[in-house]
Copies of this chain bind each other. A is one copy, B any other.
Amino acid sequence: MSKALPKRSENYSEWYNEIVKRADLAENSAVRGCMVIKPYGYAIWEKMQRALDDMFKATGHQNAYFPLFVPKSFLEKEEEHAEGFAKECAVVTHYRLKANPDGKGLIVDPNAKLEEELIVRPTSEAVIWNTYKNWIQSWRDLPLLINQWCNIVRWEMRTRLFLRTTEFLWQEGHTAHATENEAIEEAERMLEVYATFAENWIGLPVILGLKTPNERFAGAIETYCIEAMMQDGKALQAGTSHFLGQNFAKAFDVKFVNKENQLEFAWATSWGVTTRMIGALIMAHSDDNGLVLPPKLAPVQVVIIPIYKTPEDLATISEKVNPLFEELKAAGISVKYDDSEHQRSGWKFAEYELRGVPVRLGIGMRDLENGTVEVARRDTLSKESKPIDGIVQHVRLLLDEIQENIYNKALKFREENTFMVDTWDQFKEQIEKGGFLMAHWDGTAETEAAIKEETKATIRCIPLLSAEMAGKCVYSGKDSAKRVVFARAY
């Protein structure tokens, strides 16, 4: 057996890296900051995609595909947007290589310089709104509800598997509406979709909120977000939804004739979640034994492991397991029977634990005699012997229970690590210990910046759902309308 994982309490960061690596989720590629998503990690992403895509379609959206490249002049059109993305983008300047005349290998062909540089999309507002110009003429063309699944490149300086990579995968919704209200409703609707997905699929409780002006998406009027707490008490932004007002419609001249027969700029939203959610999933639920997967996103929900000494025993066990395997599959459960002979069952137990498979069924010769099976759950690490009759129904309920338990555990953790903070001393002391600090803020960018400067804490969001309750800013002592969420963040 391989070396134990680092413990969360000792080196949380190393613990995370090791889980990603040992559970075979992803690895760094030879290309700076870009990751290889390995089959097991990608299978989680596929499950996420399927669930989200169904939800997008159920809310009236259609998928489409827009170009990878953004001409430089497009990016320039919306000023804040340009400023936000220009500093970290991959720039295509040439379209051909040629044999090196001075030696071996290939060089960039200087004769193949592009007239206008192309940016590898850091987000697609510019390309999409340039296209929408031709799609939107009348109020009848609205709302336009489109989503795209694709890859994105942002030249990040410090990268971390899943959490921050130069290239990542995401979906980006881009919608156009006839009125401001409809666009705001859409941005809020998609935030709700994200929250539902985070809570019901990832098992990740989230706070729905608004970003401060300083933390808004470049070009947005309002940025909504969902914020989650990781097990080290740091915050992770798991999804954002933007109300873009008429900024992009104005930048790309997208006008429509409204019902009153007047020309008007269209109203926009955009919203996205990324492969970062896999990082959130890992950090929120896993333990010192490895990955813990929520059953709804687990590529393998149940693994069956035979415990045997001789090939004859294995044959006897397999005879019993095969119909059980089929029955589980027929019940819609994703199941694997690991009867490989070159690894011992003890090794397999540890391996599937590390890989976070929610339920393990162990079957040995004694079990066959007794008509039982050993049922182990990954979330609590508990085991019990169960009659093999009715086991499918038991497993089905158990998967639901695990899904719920994972969420409740994360919710309890968040609640235990959320603090009402009313004085600056208290703030400074608590922030070192981690967690969410619910504190009053005077609403100014100066105070926000000063707090970040002194404590590395940022305002994660202004919660949407908390009651308004006036107070005094924890830093400046000035009036504040409500508490906001402060934390250190990924």
Q: Which A residues contact B (CB, under 8 angstroms)?
A: 27, 29-31, 34-39, 42-43, 45-46, 62-76, 82, 86-99, 104-106, 108, 117-120, 127, 130-131, 134, 140, 146, 150-151, 153, 155, 167, 169, 342
Contact = CB atoms under 8 A, between A and B. Distances in A.
Given A34-B69, A39-B146, A106-B76, A63 B46 contact: yes
A104 to B, nearest CB: 8
A169 B64 CA distance: 12
A95 B89 contact: yes
A32 to B, nearest CB: 9
Most buried by B among A43, A65, A117, A167: A65
20 contacts: A30-B71, A30-B74, A35-B67, A39-B64, A43-B63, A73-B105, A75-B106, A76-B105, A82-B106, A86-B98, A86-B99, A87-B98, A89-B95, A89-B96, A91-B92, A91-B97, A91-B108, A93-B94, A96-B155, A97-B117
B90 A95 contact: yes
A146 B72 CA distance: 35
A29 B93 contact: no
Total copies of this chain within the assembly: 2
B42 A64 contact: yes
Contacts of A35: 67
Contact of A68 (B89, B95, B151): B151
A63 B68 CA distance: 21
B167 A67 contact: yes
Contacts of A65: 36-37, 42, 45, 169
Contact of A36 (B66, B82, B104, B119): B66
A176 to B, nearest CB: 13
Most buried by B among A34, A38, A93, A97: A97
